[in-house]
Amino acid sequence: MKTTNKYFVLLAIVVLVFAALACGSSSNTGSKVAETGGESSTQAPPKVEVYKIGDVIQVGNHTIVLNSAEVKGNILHANFTVENKGSEDLGVSSVLNFSAKDAEGTKLEQNIFDCGSSGLDGKVLPGDKLRGDICWSGATKMPIKIYYEANLFGSGAIVWEISQ
């Protein structure tokens, strides 16, 4: 009897995971809603819009801004602000939602310990903001692209290009 219950629970979990994957086909793309400074980008890839520092990007029920980005040595240091404009809590994870690649497409290693001040991880309550830093090591071949995927099971990503 207990073995049957274990199989039933396992089957229920598998069904729920597949249902979440099927329903979670929301997009990770966004659209620029405002500009907070910096120069305009004159060239963007034909299929993927590439944003610049200071662009306010609407993604679902929240906005995200890359406030600053600089390379020191081989460390890319980026500062972001996420604002929850929805009615439910928003989870942000620097490890799960963000990645970076160099000009050759090599994925950079996230550098958690040498990043300095506050990280960009946590819960953002409705109407609240979270500002923090993410760092990656191995930033030697420019330009570098930073990717933000709000929905891990969705398609596309928000992309910023850093060309210091």
In the chain, what are the domains?
27-162 (2.60.40.1240)
Q: Is the pLDDT of residue 79 over 80?
A: yes
pLDDT at 43 > cutoff 90: no
Q: Tell me, what's the pLDDT at 35?
A: 74
pLDDT at 128 over 90: yes
Q: Which residue has the higher pLDDT, 137 or 152?
A: 137
Task: Report the pLDDT value the prediction gives residue 30, as an integer from 0 to 100.
Answer: 82
What is the per-residue pLDDT for 126? 98
| C-alpha closest to that of 130 among 65, 78, 74 | 65
Q: What is the DSSP track for the chain?
A: -HHHHHHHHHHHHHHHHHHHHHH---B---EEEEE-SSPPP----SSS-EE-TTEEEEETTEEEEEEEEEEETTEEEEEEEEEE-SSS-EEE-HHHHEEEE-TT-PBPEE-STTS-S-BS-EEE-TT-EEEEEEEEE---SS-EEEEE-SSTTSB--EEEEE--
Residue 20: which pLDDT band, with cuts at 50, 70 and 90?
very low
Q: Tell me the pLDDT tens digit for each residue of 146-164.
A: 999 999 888 899 999 999 7
- Alpha carbon 135 to its chain's center: 13
pTM: 0.74
> Residues near 78 by Cβ (< 8 Å), separated by ≥ 6?
66, 68, 69, 100, 133, 134, 135, 136, 146, 162
The full DSSP string for 35-54 is E-SSPPP----SSS-EE-TT
**What is the DSSP track for 126-139?**
TT-EEEEEEEEE--
